[in-house]
Every structure is written in C-alpha cells, then in structure tokens.
C-alpha cells in the first residue's frame, strides 16, 4: 500500500515536471548534485564543508588547507554522478563495466580505479567482515547475475536498496566502496523513474546500522525502509515546488 502511494507521487512528478521552467529545474538539479557530493564524501571522512564543496564544483576554486585528495574526491564524485546521469539518458543498463567505470572516475588521481582488491579488508565499526578475495570474486559473479534477476523479483526501491547493501557488503574495492554503492543505488532509482537521494551525514548512524543488519543477517527491511523514506521525502519536496510554481 505504501509503495503504491509512492508510485502515485512519482507519477505526479513525471506528469507535471515539464511545467517547471528550465532555470528552476536546473537549480533543483544543481542543488541536489552539490548536496549529494558533500554528504557522500563527508560520510567517508572528507572535511570540505557544504559551501567549500559548492565552490569547488561550481566555481572551480581550490580550497586552502585541504589536501589534494579531498579536492579530487569532491571533483571526481561530481563527475561520476554526471556519468551516471548520462548513462541513464542513453538507457544503458547497470552492469559490471558500468560499476568499474564509476569507480575509476571516483578514484581518478587518487588510486588506480576499476580494479578489484586482492587483499583482505575490514570495515571500521562494522561487525561484518567482507569476504576474502577468492570468495569475493564468487559473490561478485552472483551479484551481477542478480542485478538482472532482481529487476523482476523486486520493486524499484527494494532493487536500489539491495544493490547498495549487497555491493558494499562484498566490498570489492580497496577504497571507494561506499561512494560507489550510493551512486549505483541512485542509478537504479533514476533508471526506474525515481529521483536520486542523498544520505545525510546526520543520518549516518541509522544508515550504518541498517547496512550492518543486512550484512550480518541478510535482512534488507531496515535498509529498505530507510531508502523508501528518503525517496518519499525527496518526491514530496520536489512535488511541493512543482505545485507552488504551477
């Protein structure tokens, strides 16, 4: 029932979004891009503020006192999200090649991207330990197979939540797994006509807990509910603007 209501909100958005002026639509999009990049990089430890992130992305200004890595993380994340949007405009499916491309863009000038790890890793603060490299490759094989199968088995929010949770559980890269997971989650949402969402830094404890429950128990419901609520909030915010301006 709740999902049906969400579909109605999505339908309203698509029916009325063209009533927004080009300027307003671009403003909404750019505002989200900055917020998404800021929160996604800050969750991983980047220290640029929201204003500094905006300055780097929009004004191409280098921020004093920040490392080159932090600047690249912000610039690369914005580029990677642009790549996601361009791929969706071309109706390209999410697959292994896309995931590696996204990771390579994210890690440009930081590490060599798009290459799976060959060492064990640990996730700070999590009770779950990612699989060893050999087991990781087996699980990745099933992950990419399930990307297709789950499009039939799951609703769009469930698919997006599972894509994020399962990929970050496997943790196939040395670095950048969280940012990659949030990007491919939004890939799934946008591909299915929903709006992209930004997981806020202030909500990261709930976010981490929900992911840890999935990783240890394979229970997706807490993370599904977390993503569902963010999507509903985003649709409500944008639809409110649509109503006010039309």
Q: Spot the catalytic one: 77, 103, 164, 171.
A: 171
Tokens of residue 58, six digits: 């929009």
Q: What domains can you pick out in the chain, each with its CATH number?
A: 2-245 (1.10.3290.10)
pLDDT given for residue 124 in this prediction: 75
pLDDT tens profile 62-113: 888 999 999 999 999 999 999 999 999 999 999 999 999 999 999 999 999 9
Query: CB-based contacts of 244: which residues, under 8 Å, 6+ apart?
Result: none
- Tell me what percent of the residues of the chain surpass a pLDDT of 90: 91
Query: Is pLDDT of 61 > 90?
Result: no
- Mean pLDDT computed over every residue of the chain: 96
- Could you tell me how many residues make up the chain? 246
Question: Cα dist. 202→52, 160, 174, 227 in Å?
Answer: 18, 21, 25, 15
pLDDT tens profile 21-53: 999 999 999 999 999 999 999 999 999 999 999
Query: CB-based contacts of 193: which residues, under 8 Å, 6+ apart?
Result: 10, 14, 156
In whole angstroms, what separates CA 48 from the centre of its chain? 19
Query: Is pLDDT of 221 > 90?
Result: yes
Query: Is pLDDT of 237 > 80?
Result: yes
pLDDT given for residue 246 in this prediction: 67
- Look up the pTM and report it: 0.96
Q: Identify which has the larger pLDDT, 30 or 124.
A: 30
Note if 171 is an active site residue: yes
């Amino acid at each position: 029932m709740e999902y049906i209501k969400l579909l109605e909100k999505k339908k309203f958005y698509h029916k009325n979004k063209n009533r927004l002026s080009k300027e307003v639509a671009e403003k909404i999009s750019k505002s989200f891009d900055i917020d998404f990049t800021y929160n996604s990089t800050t969750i991983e430890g980047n220290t640029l503020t929201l204003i500094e992130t905006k300055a780097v992305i929009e004004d191409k200004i280098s921020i004093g006192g920040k490392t080159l890595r932090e600047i690249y993380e912000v610039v690369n994340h914005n580029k990677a999200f642009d790549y996601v949007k361009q791929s969706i405009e071309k109706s390209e499916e999410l697959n292994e090649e896309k995931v590696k491309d996204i990771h390579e863009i994210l890690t440009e000038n930081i590490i060599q991207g798009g290459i799976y790890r060959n060492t064990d890793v640990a996730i700070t603060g999590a009770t779950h330990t990612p699989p060893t490299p050999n087991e990781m490759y087996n699980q990745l094989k099933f992950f990419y197979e399930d990307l297709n199968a789950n499009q039939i088995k799951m609703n769009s929010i469930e698919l997006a939540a599972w894509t994020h949770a399962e990929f970050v559980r496997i943790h196939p890269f040395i670095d950048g797994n969280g940012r990659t997971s949030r990007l491919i989650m939004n890939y799934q949402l946008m591909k299915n006509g929903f709006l992209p969402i930004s997981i806020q830094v202030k909500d990261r404890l709930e976010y981490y807990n929900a992911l840890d429950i999935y990783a240890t128990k394979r229970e997706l419901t807490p993370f599904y509910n977390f993503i569902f609520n963010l999507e509903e909030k985003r649709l409500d915010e944008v639809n409110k603007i649509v109503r006010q301006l039309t």
